[in-house]
Amino acid sequence: MNQKKVYQWLGWSPLLFSLLCFCIYPIHWYFFFEILTPEDGIIEYLTAIFAFAAGFISIGLGFYYFKRKEMVTAFILFCYAAGCIFLAGEEISWGQRIFDIKVEDVSAWLAEKNRQEELNLHNIAGFAQIRLLADAFCLIWGITIPWRYQVDTFPIRWLRPFFIPSWLIPGFVTTIFITWPQKISEAIFDEIQWVCELRLGEFKELCFSLVCLLFSLHLLRSRKSTSLIE
């Protein structure tokens, strides 16, 4: 298998992995609900692992370019790493259940405001829309710009090193649209039970973290060039 086909398969991996998991639903519902998709299930921990890995790779790259005095590149990588680590921490509620932490012991305000009594921000009213930032990133930077431009024609020169490769676009498309069946069923059909049971929101987060990891690995591979910013 040549390199181009490998990248194509990697780009489609978020969708393919999700479809594989969905196939388990009618075959072994207990595994799907009790092991794969519940709180602290396989999907949740994979999401955190992928996001943590993306963050730590980006931190390493940030220090690499910092030492080379490429400050703009390093700063963007550190910001990207912070976002990935924040995603991972939020996904596992910053280790709340791992370390048996009670929310009220950390913050009475958080215990009152968090609707799931978890040690995170995305379940607080007002912060819940933070997911829109991920959607905006996918739609603008992951789909629209790579579709509209080539890397050498993109007008913002200092962002060219972070241009999304074409093979990764399917992963961003999957992240955006994977929850649409549930939204359509809620809007038109007053919720279709089996669609809602698939927990598509969890798979959306998984796809996003996997895309972030693949992008970080792409940046790591690009480090072989003399400089990310020519």
CB of 43 closer than 8 Å to CB of 210:
no
Contact 86, 80 (CB under 8 A): no
pLDDT tens for each residue of the chain, 230 residues long: 567 778 889 999 999 999 999 999 889 888 999 999 988 899 999 999 999 999 999 999 999 999 999 999 999 999 999 999 999 998 887 777 777 777 776 667 676 777 666 777 766 766 656 777 888 889 999 999 999 999 889 999 889 889 999 999 999 999 999 998 887 877 776 666 667 778 888 999 999 999 999 999 999 988 765 444 43
How many other β-carbons are positioned within 10 Å of the β-carbon of residue 60? Answer: 14
pTM of model > 0.85: yes
Long-range Cβ pairs for the range 129-134 (8 Å, 24+): 134/87, 134/175, 134/208
Report the distance separating Cα 45 and Cα 35, nearest Å: 11
Confirm if 36 and 21 have CB atoms less than 8 A apart.
yes
3-state secondary structure 105-168: HHCHHHHHHECCCCCCCCCECCCHHHHHHHHHHHHHHHHHHHHHCCHHHCCCHHHHHHCCCHHH
Q: Quick one: pLDDT at residue 162?
A: 94
Integer Cα distance of 121 and 99 in angstroms: 18
